[in-house]
Copies of this chain bind each other. A is one copy, B any other.
Amino acid sequence: MEVGVVGAYSLKYELRSSKEVWDMIKEVVEGVLGKVDKGIGKDEIDLVIVSNFSDRFGGLTHTAPLVVSYLGLNSTKGFRVENACVSGGTALYIAWNFLRSGLAKNALIVGFEKMSYLPSSMEVNEVLMQAGHPEEVLVGSPFVSLYALIATAYMSRYGAREEDLALVAVKNHENGLRNPLAAMQKKISVEDVMKSPYVSWPLKLYDSSLITDGAAALIVSSEPRRYTDTPVMLRSIAMYHDHPGVSQREDLTALRAVRKAGEEAYRSAGITPKDVDVMEVHDAFTIAEIIIYEMLGLAERGRGVELVREGVTAFHGEIPVNPSGGLKSKGHPIGATGVGMVAEIYWQLRGEAGERQVPGAEVGLVENHGGTGATSVVAVFSR
């Protein structure tokens, strides 16, 4: 059974203080339905999966039947899934399983998060911390501190420097400049990153992804060529887990779930890392992107920093990573994030990515993870 993406839509990620969350959802649902090349009827959607992290970010639950009702209340089935920052990747994973086994034909995936629903970044952080291990949360460790532990271990073992991490931020901000959907379209230098305030040493403000509102939607079909002559095929998708508590892990410098999901996704798609032309990966903090390079087989352990030092993963490099600007510049509205990553790869493989188009991209990969990597979903796509 072939499964392909036949439509994608995303709002520009930005703080939308005046906008109701339900309006954001309706906008991406209408948007994606209007973007299918040969058209698709509302009544052809038989599965709705909503990706949303917290009801404290938007005040909505039981959101899938709202969308089903909006589509006209046919025999469409709907539910919400949540796996922290990888809710979007998880929605695609479940949709793929339903489509491949014939339980549904056309799935609409809607990701959203209205993080500005809460008035202060302190409160936002409290909600985000719910995605960690209860005992680490109990001692008050926000994610930036957990990633700081990972960064410290990595720097100590492999001799990486803060400036190396900064290069990831500089690259992704440069990419974001070309993306009209990115929340922060602002060029930054290594010096800017180094001068930005420490949030949790060695991670600084500019090592961190953005809190923002956002929504994105996809239509995924088991009859993709019925809806477009140029679908983006979902070649493989894999999900793996790691211990939610970083203190439970044997190796702080590895992300087991990412490595396992990557290995399975490559194997199932019958490709190697060298076959991938463009990647969107989960750069929640700069250190994450470096370690993801290594977990996904782009570099040996400890040598991920070389890729960014040498420009291998830059926009004009050998394997552009995060041409969208990544979570760092494009933004990270939790439930929308994984959905938006797939949308970016869809546009890249169809040659519709405008100024940020990676020339001739034929194979794309998405790596979306939750928490400090307790869950990772890796998906491989091709034209």
- A102 to nearest B CB, angstroms? 8
Q: Is the CB of A61 within 8 A of B101?
A: no
Interface check A80, CB cutoff 8 A? yes
- CB-CB under 8 A from A101, the residues of chain B are 97, 100-103
Give the residue of B76, B83, B132, B241 whose beta carbon is less than 8 angstroms from that of A76.
Answer: B241
CA distance A30 to B68 in the complex (A): 37
- CB-CB under 8 A from A241, the residues of chain B are 65, 68-69, 73, 76-78
Contact digits for A99-138, partner B, Cβ 8 Å, 1 yes 0 no: 0111100000000000000000000000100111110000
Q: Is the CB of B64 within 8 A of A83?
A: yes
Give the residue of B21, B80, B240 whose beta carbon is less than 8 angstroms from that of A83.
Answer: B80
Q: A94-B94, A127-B55, A134-B20 are in contact. Are A375 and B64 (CB under 8 A)?
A: yes
- CB-CB under 8 A from A374, the residues of chain B are 62, 65-66, 69
Contact digits for A60-104, partner B, Cβ 8 Å, 1 yes 0 no: 111011101100010111111111100000100110011011110
- CB-CB under 8 A from A62, the residues of chain B are 82-84, 130-132, 244, 370-371, 374-375
How many chain copies?
Answer: 2
Q: Is the CB of B371 within 8 A of A130?
A: no
Q: A66-B244, A80-B83, A81-B81 are in contact. Are A134 and B371 (CB under 8 A)?
A: no
- Closest chain B residue to A85 by CB distance? B62
Q: A69-B243, A130-B59, A241-B65 are in contact. Are A79 and B81 (CB under 8 A)?
A: yes
Interface check A248, CB cutoff 8 A? yes
- CB-CB under 8 A from A73, the residues of chain B are 241-243
Could you list some 21 contacts between A and B, CB below 8 A?
Answer: A20-B134, A53-B61, A55-B56, A55-B127, A59-B130, A62-B244, A62-B374, A65-B83, A65-B241, A65-B375, A66-B244, A68-B241, A69-B242, A73-B243, A75-B240, A77-B240, A80-B83, A81-B82, A94-B94, A97-B98, A101-B101
